[in-house]
Amino acid sequence: MPVPAVTAEELVVHAFVVADTVTGDQPYHLLRRMWHALSPLMGHPVSGTGIAVDPPEDLPDESVEEVVLAVAQNVDGTAQAVLRRRHDVVNLSVLFTGSCGWREHERRWESVVAGAHERLLGEVRIYFGHTPPGSGPDLPASAELAAVVAARLPDVPTVRGWEGTGVTTRNGFPVWEISPRADERRLRRLVVLTPQDRDRELSAWVWSDGRPVAPLLARYLIHAAKLRYQLRVWDRGRIAAALRSRVANAVAALGDDARAADTGSVEADVVSTLTALATMRRTVEIAEDNMARTLDGVADGGMFAEDRTLARDARIWLADEQVYLELDRDLLRDARAVPARTAPRPVPVESGPTVGLLTAMTVEFNAMRSLLLDQRRAPAAGHADYLLAELPSADPASPHRVVLAQTGATANAAASDAATNMLRSHPTVSCLVMTGVAAGIPAPDAPQRHVRLGDVVLATWGVADYAHLVVTEDGATSRAVFPRPWHYLTRVSDRLEVDELAGERPWEQWLDEAGPAFRRPPDRTDVLAPLTPGGQRRRHPRRDRSGHRPGYPKVHKGRIGSADISVRDAALRDRIAAAHNLRAVEMEGAGVGTSAFLNDRHWFMVRGISDYADSTYTADWRPYAALAAAAYVRALLAAAIPFDQL
């Protein structure tokens, strides 16, 4: 079937602001100024509506579901604008038609919105195109049709490969989102096409059915904009991370008299933040429900599936933040109840290790061993060879006593066996730390989430045991919720994250001192595979966008997938990662975490990224990645007080 041409180009814009008791009328006045900037282009009334051209000075109260505030058009009706209030959102919608095309329409709109982008709740630009009559009834959202459109679009930022991400709606219209895929994006750009003889149907969905009320797609996009606004407020947990760091500092500074420590103000901030998180989580749930109700199955894939996935992930992220802060709140309250101590608890000279370090491969073992102090082989224990050693702690007088072992084989069964044997041989161990390498999940279209070779990933959001499933005719679901990592080390990692913002990265000193065996490979060897065989090789985002400093690892925090599966396929990797919101995948963490849980111990995991679980797999980055993980483990423990003092 020949690919149809695009015969007409229109631009539909929907801009949103919130108007409530918190924001006041300022956002409304911003849209009024934009409305007046449109006046030279469209300052005439729309006959038959009976609605004024000029919006009211003051925003009407939120008393009805929707109220139209003003409508206007140009002399010949080829450009129109509508200003309306829908619940707590004020929406400016603009339509540009005529023969000048998308590039000129874009230029005209930019002259109106210039300087206001960052003050909007959200903005959507829809490149609405016609194909010849009879080219339907359904237009497939094919890459070939997208390529025809791409040649005509204005020069705007787009995501690489957008041509292959389209979806055809249930009523037969192809839709693509071409915007870069940052989760928090404020501006979205869509392409929607229709045969010319079906223009009225598509117009009713994206612009108007002849009435000035909000069309179905605009209503959906309002809810999606609210979702993404909550993610901007959440700021990937940075505010909560800083607060958790304050909690850790407050507890660590209790000193000799727990009752004298002023933890009250910190606890008040924790409670306030918990309230805010609960509100945000509920707002996300409402937005998710409203998006589903508004579309009601109009489209299942493409941008609509991405929005659903983001809403689900946001609920999980916010729920996790709540749990961590609730633990912090409880810790602060318990700290107040601890009776005063007049002297530090003495540490027995012959006390056993409190930290159990586990690795799977020899290169990982050697990387961790290279950073240990006062090493000595443990007496024969019957199950494994153990190396006893020390690592600095936050208490200079009391280093961590550690034991290091190799699991003897990869995969979760061997890791679980090794962890259990370590706890049996060294019952004083209170926390197991798994360190070594993993495969990273690259995200070149979302630079802040992008994981590169040599980076470090912390399982602060836990492990997804993604092969532990219940499979029914309706699909596969996780069989159980995995035990959480130790919240104390999560808080310590938060403190390191805060210090990193001030330029303090203690783990880098051991990377700088690395010998030839652990030296960082050249950056030219850090390449991404195509998502499909024979496809275009993807590029890394610029370092200034992804937060990568040349020659050093970036530290990521999130969820790590664990299963006895060695993934070497980019498309499969991305499907698994999207289903479980993963930053990396590996093969031992689930075994270690399960053993720790069953033996009533804590666990934590730090991984260095040695490959991308795709066709570019090599072992070249494995030594450096193993050392990067080991270096972070040493820095993490150096910021933690000895575990037997907790």
Question: Residue 93 and residue 85: Cα distance in Å, rounded?
Answer: 11
* pLDDT at residue 340 is higher than 50: no
Asked if 160 and 38 sit in the same domain, the reply is: yes
* pLDDT at residue 32 is higher than 80: yes
3-class SS at 122? strand
For residue range 539-570, list pLDDT tens digits in order: 999 998 999 999 999 999 999 999 999 999 99
Q: Answer yes or no: is 622 within a domain.
A: yes
Whether pTM exceeds 0.85: no
What is the reported pLDDT for 611? 97
What is the reported pLDDT for 348? 46
Asked if 494 and 558 sit in the same domain, the reply is: yes
* Tokens at 438, concatenated: 């993993």
Q: Answer yes or no: is 342 within a domain.
A: no
What is the reported pLDDT for 48? 85
Q: Give the whole-number percent of the chain exceeding pLDDT 70.
A: 94
* Tokens at 533, concatenated: 């065989």
Asked if 399 and 521 sit in the same domain, the reply is: yes
Question: Residue 409 and residue 566: Cα distance in Å, rounded?
Answer: 14
Asked if 195 and 242 sit in the same domain, the reply is: no
What is the reported pLDDT for 62? 67
**Which of 80-94, 398-412, 469-483 shows the lowest per-residue confidence on average (mean pLDDT)?**
469-483
Domain end among 306, 337, 368: 337
What is the reported pLDDT for 382? 60
Q: Answer yes or no: is 296 within a domain.
A: yes
Asked if 298 and 383 sit in the same domain, the reply is: no
What is the reported pLDDT for 342? 45
What is the reported pLDDT for 380? 65
Domain end among 294, 309, 337: 337
The H or E element spanning position 199 is helix 199-206
Q: Answer yes or no: is 227 within a domain.
A: no
Asked if 313 and 449 sit in the same domain, the reply is: no
What residues pair up with 358 in beta bridges, in sequence order?
A: 405, 434
Average pLDDT over residues 532-538: 76
Asked if 306 and 364 sit in the same domain, the reply is: no
* pLDDT at residue 156 is higher than 90: yes
Q: Answer yes or no: is 377 within a domain.
A: yes
Strands 79-86 and 89-96: antiparallel
Are the beta carbons of 391 and 605 closer than 8 angstroms? no
Asked if 498 and 582 sit in the same domain, the reply is: yes
* pLDDT at residue 135 is higher than 50: yes
Q: Answer yes or no: is 76 within a domain.
A: yes
What is the reported pLDDT for 254? 64
What is the reported pLDDT for 60? 82
Q: How far is CA 166 from CA 130, 132, 189, 228, 400, in A?
A: 17, 20, 13, 21, 54
Half-sphere exposure of 476 (CA within 13 A, CB side): 9
Asked if 41 and 138 sit in the same domain, the reply is: yes
What is the reported pLDDT for 267? 84
What is the reported pLDDT for 319? 87
Give Cβ neighbours of residue 418 (< 8 Å, ≥ 6 apart).
358, 384, 405, 406, 407, 408
What is the reported pLDDT for 551? 94
Question: Residue 191 and residue 96: Cα distance in Å, rounded?
Answer: 15
Asked if 333 and 359 sit in the same domain, the reply is: no
> Edge-to-edge, what's the strand order for the sheet holding 8-18?
66-73, 79-86, 89-96, 8-18, 122-131, 187-195, 174-177, 167-168
Q: Answer yes or no: is 570 within a domain.
A: yes
For residue 44, the 8-state DSSP code is B
What is the reported pLDDT for 242? 82
For residue range 106-119, list pLDDT tens digits in order: 999 999 999 898 99
Asked if 327 and 429 sit in the same domain, the reply is: no
* Other Cβ atoms closer than 10 A to 181: 19
What is the reported pLDDT for 327? 84
Q: What is the mean pLDDT of the chain?
A: 89
Average pLDDT over residues 483-499: 93
* pLDDT at residue 353 is higher than 90: yes
Asked if 45 and 171 sit in the same domain, the reply is: yes
Q: By residue range, what is the domain housing residue 409?
A: 355-645
For residue range 372-389, list pLDDT tens digits in order: 999 999 876 666 889 999
* pLDDT-based confidence at residue 171 (cuts at 50, 70, 90): confident
* pLDDT at residue 256 is higher than 70: no
Q: Answer yes or no: is 222 within a domain.
A: no
Domain end among 180, 214, 248: 214
What is the reported pLDDT for 258? 47
What is the reported pLDDT for 343? 45
* pLDDT-based confidence at residue 257 (cuts at 50, 70, 90): low
* pLDDT at residue 212 is higher than 60: yes
* pLDDT at residue 358 is higher than 80: yes
* pLDDT-based confidence at residue 336 (cuts at 50, 70, 90): low
Residue that wins the pLDDT comparison between 631 and 338 = 631
Count: domains in the chain: 3
For residue range 289-319, list pLDDT tens digits in order: 999 999 887 888 899 989 998 999 899 888 8
* CATH (domain of 603): 3.40.50.1580
